[in-house]
Structure 1
Amino acid sequence: MSTFTSQTTLNVWPKVASGIVTDQPEEHILGERNVTRTQHVSVPQLTLYPAPGSSAEYPAPAVMVMPGGGYSILAYDLEGSEICQWLNTLGFTAVLLKYRVPDNREGALMDAQRSMGLIRQHASDWHIDAERLGVIGFSAGGHLSARLSTNYASRTYDRLDAADDLSCKPDFTMLVYPAYLNDEDGSLKAECPVDENTPPVAIVQTQDDHLTIDGAIAYYKQAVANKVMAELHLYPYGGHGYGMRAGEHAVSTAWPELFGKWLTTHFAK
């Protein structure tokens, strides 16, 4: 197997991705609030951000990062590369997933499941501890992270190679203003069946999020009911889509500190 170097990319699928793919060319547009919008993704890719000091002797814990964008685009820097750089400061290797968009939730789940297997397959070469591999997702990426964390018993696509024989279950999960988790009555959607085997989870959201906080609360309550280690941090203000860039509200700088402590306390050693 080849060794990754800093910010080297790897295609998730050896040929054409399983399931539906867009026929539009991929684009990267600098949009509002200086956020890079990646759209029309038909070739899902992983990009590695190695933890400083990681080695064969001292493999690092790792986190797969999944940006949001309403399953229409990916906020590739705000909720992607900037998060990877933060994880590196904590001693974690980050692997950024560019999953399929637009309007391809099932394809995105396939991309996420296969990516977890690929990361574990390459763990030795990439100096990653395969038993300390988590996931963080934002907005739609939070929804995708929740689905991945509760739908890992079998792949949603046909086996391709040895990577698909390895577990796609995250060892821990972080959901940052997750979207689309609740039904109209506020209950957790059936597509996210939290049970006693669901990975430990940390969640952050704000009361003024236009996409509702019901899903975050429902996921947390189900985790607690099943005795899963869980944290939920609710802030009154901050809206949606703030990433970790400093703004007028505390949440955007507070959650990285809280999640950083959670990560280093429970998963760094």
Structure 2
Amino acid sequence: MTASKTIVLFGILSLSLFCSVFLKNSDMGVRAVLLLAGRGLFLLGLSSWLVSVLYPWLRPSSPSPPRNHKEVPDEDVKQKQDLAREEQQMKHSEKATSYQESVLRPRNEFRLRKRVERFYRMTGEGWKLTQGQPLGEGESPEPHSEVKEEEEGSDTPNQQALRRRKLPEEATRAHPQPERPAVKRVVVLPDEPSDDADGVVRVALRCPSGRIVRRKFLKSYNSLVLLDWLHKTGYHPAIYTICTSYPRSPLDLGGDMTLADAGINTDTVFNVEEKDPSMT
């Protein structure tokens, strides 16, 4: 910065000198002016070079800044540093232990418990997840006589606890036996008699589908055999009935009536029709 100021100062002096000489010799020619300008520039350049060379020598030397020398710490400083490191490491260890106890361990136990519950539910052993209740817990013992106490002395603890247990009324009350299902009646038709047998009649049933079935019976057969035959044909007697052709009316059948009593003494054709719901 000082060198640039010096060069500027020499330039101003040279320019003022040039101007003064030019004013004194104003009648100079162009050649003389150019020669004078060249001399001024040369003088300016020479002065700049001299200033740049001599300035470092003429500049006052400034004191050098002190150097930072690393001093070796003594034993006290090392001990303090070691103590600080140990305290910092202890704080980090406490934080890690607290995080493991309060966050990681409960999280792992929760995940393990969920896996065990899922396993027992999938294997059908969900009862293992319940706490259960020991026999006789929370129940007041009933007074026993000396004879009963002597008898209980020979029982096992489980039998004694079972005896002291207060069972609910539903467990002590005798349950009614379920009703036995009705025995399904098997429909068996008697064999057809031969044509030359005495008292043979032929009966035909005209079904709603247009099909006609025929069979031979004896007049002495029970009249209910016709209902069994109707059932065997595929028409349940609870829905269908056997009617006479003319006049069209339901055939009167009974458990103590034979076919002859029902009016079937000759070959007869009957109609199979649905029962009237209003008549049932």
- TM-score, normalization: structure 2? 0.20
Which structure dedicates a bigger proportion of its chain to strand? 1
Highest RCO, 1 vs 2 (Cα 8 Å, sep ≥ 6) = 1
Which structure dedicates a bigger proportion of its chain to helix? 2
Structure having the higher Rg:
2
- TM-score, normalization: structure 1? 0.20
